[in-house]
Structure 1
Amino acid sequence: MTDRFVSNFTNRLDAKGRVSIPSSFRAVLAKDGYEGLYVHPALDLAAFDAGGYALRRTIDEILARFSPFSEEWESLSTALNGTSEVLRVDPEGRIMLSEALKAHVGITDTVTFVGHGHKFQIWEPQQFQAHLEAAKSKLRDVKRALGAQSLAPAGAGT
């Protein structure tokens, strides 16, 4: 068993609007011990972040970098805490997404769960595929740039 969210899964919402969290993700959440599922809209993506104590710790660490009286702290706290929800996970491992969360992401009848280590994201499947293709393209550019750097003679450009 792992303590990280990895891989991606696409699941359908049932007739009542519930969706099953992938079993490997449920195992990580159970190990984490958080009651429910903490979610907030992603800051710059059409997705939302989800997780337990590990995600909460990361948010607390980010906020701790700023004075609690600063504009940055206020903005981040509002975006990360003020728009968050704690969803109840039923005994079958399903969650009910609020209308606000579904609207933010554009979810209708299916969602894609995407592992990010300490957290996972929930996407509308076509939006995720477009994001994945863009991410792969950026990484190909990074790989090319790193490859070109490794071919340069030591001390070149200095």
Structure 2
Amino acid sequence: MNRFLSNATKKIDAKGRVSVPAVFRTVLAERNISELYCFQDFIFPAISIGGPDLLDRFERQIDQEDPFSANANSMSLLIHGGGVFTKLDAEGRMMVTDFIRDFTGIEAEVTFVGRADHFQLWEPRTFQEAQAQARQARLGGRAGA
């Protein structure tokens, strides 16, 4: 298994830490990712998390642009200004920082959502609503389909 799949909701402990699901930790280990790049998603109120290769991919896109263009500057604002690095502790937990809480609305629980080459942190109800909307849109609005 080398992709982040599925979703799981976990409680945040009294010290502000949350255990990353074991299946996600397995993918991180298989991909040899120890430092996590976290950024504010471009569309959803979620934090996207992957390895340094995820940041590298965005930076390659920026490098193809004129460095003074609005597009390059906007992308840099999003991936650099809206990104941080973090690590898991020895028990596989990560801190749910103000950076995460302020952007997502997460309070007591976090829903981890697999997105193939990265995963996301969501406020649980917001994720459920977004997933229901995506399903409805995918079905073309057909009731009972």
TM over 0.5: yes
Which one has a bigger Cα radius of gyration?
1
**In structure 2, C-alpha distance between the alignment counterparts of 1:67 and 1:33, rounded to whole Å:** 33
| Percent identity over paired residues | 36
**Which structure 1 residue ranges, 5 or more long, are not aligned?**
145-158
Task: Show the counterpart of 2:43.
Answer: 44
Task: Show the counterpart of 1:8.
Answer: 7
Alignment RMSD: 1.7
**In structure 1, C-alpha distance between the alignment counterparts of 2:23 and 2:67, rounded to whole Å:** 36
More helix per residue: 1 or 2? 1
Task: Show the counterpart of 2:134.
Answer: 135
User: Structure 1 residues 53 and 110 mapped into 2: Cα distance closer, same or farther (>3 Å)?
Assistant: same
**In structure 2, C-alpha distance between the alignment counterparts of 1:61 and 1:36, rounded to whole Å:** 19
**In structure 2, C-alpha distance between the alignment counterparts of 1:20 and 1:28, rounded to whole Å:** 15
Shift of 1:67: 2.2
What TM-score results when the alignment is normalised by the length of structure 1? 0.83
Find runs of 4+ consecutive structure 1 residues off by over 6 angstroms.
Answer: none
**In structure 1, C-alpha distance between the alignment counterparts of 2:35 and 2:7, rounded to whole Å:** 20
Are the aligned partners of 1:49 and 1:119 in contact in 2 as well (CA < 8 Å)? yes
**Which structure 2 residue ranges, 5 or more long, are not aligned?**
none
Task: Show the counterpart of 2:117.
Answer: 118
**In structure 2, C-alpha distance between the alignment counterparts of 1:137 and 1:31, rounded to whole Å:** 34
User: Structure 1 residues 133 and 43 mapped into 2: Cα distance closer, same or farther (>3 Å)?
Assistant: same
- Count how many residue pairs are aligned between Structure 1 and Structure 2: 142
